[in-house]
Every structure is written in C-alpha cells, then in structure tokens.
Amino acid sequence: MSEIHDPASVAHPTPRIDGEDKLTGRARYTTDWQVSGMLHGYPVPATIAHGVLGALELDEARAMPGVVDILHHRHFPRLKRSPNSMKHGDQVSEVRLPFEDERIYYHGQYIALVVAETFAQARAAALRVRARYRREHDVRPGLLASDAEGETVDHYSRGDPDSAFAAAAVTHDATYAIAPESHVPLEPHVTLAEWRDAEHLIVHESTQGVFYERNALARIFEMPAERVEVIAHYIGSGFGNKLFMWPHAVATAAAARLLGRPVKTVLPRQQDMMNGGHRPASRQRLRLAADRDGRLLAIRHDSTSETSLIDRHVDACGGATPSAYACDNVATVQRLLAVNHGTPCPMRAPGEVSGIFALECAMDELALALDMDPLALRRRNYADRDPQRDLPWSSKQLDVCLESAAARFGWAARDPRIGAMREGDEIIGYGMAAATWFAGRQHCQARVEIRADGTLLAACGTQDIGTGTYTIVAQAVAELTGVPVASIAVRLGETGLPAGPLSGGSMTTATVLPAVAAATRDALDALRDVAVGPGSHFAGHDPASLEVAQGALMAEGKRSGFAEILARHRLGSVSGQGSAAPGGERRQYSFRSFGAHFVEVRWDPGISRLRVARVVSSIDVGRAVNPLAARNQVEGAIVMGIGMGLLERLDYDPRDARLINANLADYRVPVHADMPDVDVELLDYPDFRFNEFGARGIGEIGLTGIAPAIANAVHHATGKRIRELPITIESLLDSH
C-alpha cells in the first residue's frame, strides 16, 4: 500500500461527473426506464393490521380497462424464500414472500398485485379490489403505545456498574423515546423486471445493493446467480431502506415471468412508507454515575426497539456507548418488541443515531446536575483509546472537532442560565453534542481500461446512491494516472461488472477506492509491458522503470502519452483488474469517525415558534476524497437531523396499528423555511492506517448528535427537558 500524501485530484473539491446528466435528464433512474411491451404493476395493501385474508372480490377490477392479470395468494407461483444471510450476500428486508399465505401481519401488507397496460389503469383497478378479512383483535400497537419491554437479544458489559452506581456522588437516570421515522427517499422503491427466454432475469431496481438483490432473486427463483442481472445506474437516494430487497420486487419479477412481458412496479408514496421500511421506534433508559469532578464512573444503557411480527430487525441503540467515553463500568442491553407494523430496517446511522440521542442528552443533564459546562464534561471523559476493545484509535481528532466547532460557534459566550439569552421576542438556546460512527471496509473488485481514444474507463458493480461514488472513482483513477477527471468514464451499478459492496454503513468509499487503485495500477502495468515492446519509445527499458505522469509514461527524459503508446501498437485498449479487502489492521486499531455539533435554537413563546437558527459542525472522517460531496453529505444529514429532532414521526393509530400519515402532506420533513445557517468544517487528518487514501466514510456520521444538540439547546432556551423525539410545539406548551 502506497499512501497518497500529496494528492493532485483526491481531496480536491470536484463537481460531480454525473451532474450534467442529472441536470439534463440524460441520467436514467429506474422509474424512468421504459422497455417495449412493458406492463405496470400496482400493489393492493391490506386494510387491517392483524388477521386472515378471506375472499378477494376481483371481478370488478378485472373488468377495468387495460387490466392483464391480478396476482394474489391463490394465483402466484410457488417460490422459495431467500436464506436471508448478510454474510452470504442474500439478505432481504422482509423474508416472507409476497402472497405466501393468507395471514396479515401489518396494515398495508400486499394482498394482490394488479398488472395493467398503463400505470393509471393498474392504479384504478387496484382501487376496485375488494377484500374480506377475519380480523384478529390482539393487535400489538407500537412500542411507544405499550409498556412491554420485549425480549433481550444482545448485551455488553465491562467492569462492575452496580457497585459504581452504589458508590457514586452524582447519578442520572432517565428514559428517552424516539418515534418511528420514514426514510422518504425522493425516488420511491421501484422494480422493472424482464425475463429473456424464461431463463434469464434482468431487474432494474432502485437499490443500494445490486449483488444482494441478484443473489436473493437467484435463491427465490431457484436459478444460478449468473442468470440474474440487477441494474441500478442512478438511484434517487436510499438511506438504508434500499439496502435489501422488499417483496414488491419478488411480486414484480414473478408477474413478468407469468405474463411473459416486462413489468414495472413503482410504489406509491403511501406504500413506500408502509411497506418499504422505516426507522423503528425505540425506548431507552440511560443511567450515568459520576464523581463530583464529572468523571464518569458507570454507564447503563438499556434499549428496546420495534420489529415486525415476521422479521427480527434489531436497531442496536447501544452500539456506540461502550466506546464513547473513558469509563470503566459500562453495561448495555438491547431488547426487541414485535408489533403489527411493516418490517423496519436500517436508517442512516441505524441504532447508534438513536443511542447517541439518549447518551448525549444524558450527558447534558449530568453536566447540569454537576453545574459543569457540557463541553467540559465531554473533555473530562475523553477516551484516548478505545475502551471497548482496549486498542488505540487509528486516528481520533474529536478534541480538535470540539475545540474548533466551539470556537466558530462562539460557545464561550453562552450564558448557562436557562432562558437568559434573548434577542427581540426570541429566547436563544445553545446546545452541543458529540458525533461518532464506525469506519468499516469490505471486499471489492474493479476493472480499469486505458483506451486508445485517450480516455480511461473504470468499472465496479457497486452503485452510486446519489452520494457521489461516480466522481470519487474518477478522482482515484485521475490521482494515479494524471489523466483529468473529465477524461475518465465510470460504470457502476450492474451485477455484470466486478463485484462491489452495498452502498451502506458509510463503507463505500473506503471499500471501493483501494480496489479501483489496484485495478488502475494493474492497467498501468499492462501499458508498461506494451510500451517496452519492439518499435516503441521505450524498447529495451525495464517496464518497472517507467514512471507515470499526466497521462503519459516517462523514462530518462522521454515521454509518451497513453494513447500514443496504444496507437503505435494498434491496440484499442489495455485493461487491469484489481481487488482489495481489509487486512490485519482491525486487530491493531479501532476505526471510528468523530465530530461535534453546536446548535442554536430560537424559541418565540409569543407565537410558539421553535426553530433551529444555526448549526456549526466539525467532522473528522480522515480525508474527504471529494470535499464538495462530503460537505453535502453532512449538510444533508443536518437537515435530516432537524427532521428527526423537531418534525418527523410516523403515526400509527393506537387502536388498530394503522399508519395514518403515510403521505408527504401529513408526514413532515424539513423544508427550505426550516433551514438554519450551516457551517460545516471537514478536518483533514488522513487515516492511512485504514487505506492508502486515508478516507473513512461520511454518509452517516453527520446525523449522529444533531437531535441531542437540538434537545439540549431547547432545554437551555426553555428549561424543558424533552426526552421524546420529535420535540413538538405541544410538548413545550405543557405546564411546567
């Protein structure tokens, strides 16, 4: 591994290479794809949350214009389930197959798929499907509407928390709750399935994992994986709900095979929100013990998250707690409660973002109890090495983040008295929280071609979910070849390309770029071999002696461009393969990213208006490969954090577990009017222990810490400690 210390393209702000295609509409998203003879599917959702499907009345729907067929539990092929293994690459979001039997587990569960000539015809007919149900009345409402604790699925402990609590001078004990949230990707779930010769299945899907979907489909349809191709060139974002396949894709592929025509199913927003995954609700009890100086003596973090009756998705809220602070006595417990909701799934910084809300609010409350500055309390308990694994960090600049963000924010000017800072009618609150997210890497392969037309092509099967993967791949190739980014084409998002990772866990950059670098070096070696051949500029040279600069090979003052070398030898291209995987470094170091958020809220009690006015963040992710896109990730995460903090909540009717706000009129997300002034700083401490680019990953960390910083600022302004997200105006109006 050769560390890239003085990069020419990496770490330079680089406009997206796919930006123009996206602006002009040339970039085709799955929803845009049209193939000849294509039919349209529209699922029919169940209108009860628990029971058994009885008679389906389909005559009226079948008679509607354009209707070709209606699939349901008595008219659907017998398929096999996917083994649902993360390790073996066939994990799915909902393991039950569509229309598998007559049981209904949640409101919205598909009971039929109407297939028609047009989307409008399919939708109109779907509205005419009538269903009878045998309703069962033991509906399990959401976690937040129940006292149930759930079953224990995981725990961690070190030291002796009980003794530490008994001996502590100061303790804190409170319960925090987070409402379920929707991912709300701009592009909803969509599948276009096409069979060739009834032997080959081609699926276009808006997915964060083309290989996972391919493998799962191969299991379900009992085909060799080589006969299934999954394509996702452009994705209208996915925040975890597109990691693993959902039943609409299976229903669509089955319909296409049955009818011998391509079928496309675009989930309407309501079904995307009911059936396409959400962040589950969680309830967390957080207990802290400290001495008078604010040194943490013990932490107990007990969490319960929801899952559905048919899947066991665990939102591991305590994941970040054992390594967050220097503390000898720590215990976490994770519980799971099954309810009659659609299956939840990972959502941006899953588990940890919820756990950090509880932990960072609790730290603020502890600071208050100690009469200590919340920032000073974080510093006092700074973990210089990973206390969970007892290993050094590869690189941890949280102290720099805290200091830099505090200075830019003006934290020193904070008057700690509640409600003491005012401007006009508004009361100003300052709050802060730390941010963290693990840094992981996976295995990846890539291919790079050097072409006679002077361009290069880099290819990897991984997909760009909108975060800028196309661009960073081009930057990596540019870095190693000296060819400008504009002359580098990138192909992603096809299972026919070299195997690449899920776009998830903030792992894509660190996973893909080392493989691309290896493939680039291999392609350059292929070119060197050509260049020393007879009749060439470099005949007789040792190929290893040829240096690369500015798209040319050089030796002893002679220089020959890549295209010139290929032309001289009448070659169209040379190509290289590469692969990369994490090595033994994980046994030597702990890898995490860090950050600090400082938030100013303004509360106008006269008109009951609460707004986030200002966010100042410093983020340490090693090196940001493309600071433009990286900053954009953090800014987007801050907006999402404002949604989590103040607005977003999936509302289920407590009587029948029906999701009642599954639309963008009733489910509130932040809009432009909610945008604060945002100041994001990306530190630049390359983490070469992680990979040669020094890059960890940036997709998720920005969301961690925003909601607690808001809650802490709200307390500073109003004196109200709101421990339930989202923080509503109503909760601030309650009497003291």
Do the beta carbons of residue 163 and residue 711 sit within 8 Å? Answer: no
How many residues are listed for the chain in this entry? 736
Q: Which is nearer to ligand MOS, 98 or 346 (CB)?
A: 346
Dist. CA 168–CA 158, nearest whole Å: 17
Which residue in 187, 426, 494, 700 is the catalytic one?
Answer: 700
Shortest distance, position 187 Cβ to ligand MOS, whole Å: 14
- Give the per-residue SS3 of 229-264: EEECCCCCCCCCCCCCECHHHHHHHHHHHHHCCCEE
Looking at 107-158, which runs of residues are DSSP E strands? 110-116, 130-135, 151-158
Dist. CA 706–CA 120, nearest whole Å: 41
Per-residue buried b or exposed e for 241-280, using 16+ beta carbons within 10 Å of the residue's own CB: bbbbbbbbbbbbbbbbbbbebbbbbbbbbbbbbbbbbbbb
Dist. CA 733–CA 277, nearest whole Å: 32
Shortest distance, position 345 Cβ to ligand MOS, whole Å: 8
Q: Which residue number places its CB atom closest to ligand MOS?
A: 240
Strand partners, 289: 171, 298
Do the beta carbons of residue 358 and residue 707 sit within 8 Å? Answer: no
Shortest distance, position 688 Cβ to ligand MOS, whole Å: 25
Q: Which is nearer to ligand MOS, 387 or 595 (CB)?
A: 595
Q: Which is nearer to ligand MOS, 347 or 565 (CB)?
A: 347
Q: Which is nearer to ligand MOS, 43 or 346 (CB)?
A: 346
Q: Which is nearer to ligand MOS, 240 or 374 (CB)?
A: 240
Distance of CA 390 to the CA centre of its chain: 28
Bond from prior residue into 7 cis (ω within 30 degrees of 0): no
Torsion angle of C-alpha atoms 354, 637, 231, 44, degrees rounded to 10: 60
Binding site for ligand MOS (CB under 6 A): 208, 239-240, 243, 346-348, 350, 504-505
Q: Which is nearer to ligand MOS, 29 or 538 (CB)?
A: 29
DSSP 347-391: -SSTTHHHHHHHHHHHHHHHHHHHT--HHHHHHHT--SEETTTTE
Shortest distance, position 367 Cβ to ligand MOS, whole Å: 30
Q: Which is nearer to ligand MOS, 669 or 675 (CB)?
A: 669
Shortest distance, position 243 Cβ to ligand MOS, whole Å: 6
Computed over its alpha carbons, how large is the radius of gyration of the chain? 27
Shortest distance, position 346 Cβ to ligand MOS, whole Å: 4
Shortest distance, position 350 Cβ to ligand MOS, whole Å: 5
- Note the helical H segments in 52-181: 59-62, 119-126, 161-167
Shortest distance, position 633 Cβ to ligand MOS, whole Å: 12
700 catalytic, yes or no?
yes
Q: Which is nearer to ligand MOS, 243 or 405 (CB)?
A: 243
Dist. CA 558–CA 639, nearest whole Å: 53
Per-residue buried b or exposed e for 144-154, using 16+ beta carbons within 10 Å of the residue's own CB: bebeeebeeee
Query: Which sequence positions are flagged as catalytic?
Result: 700
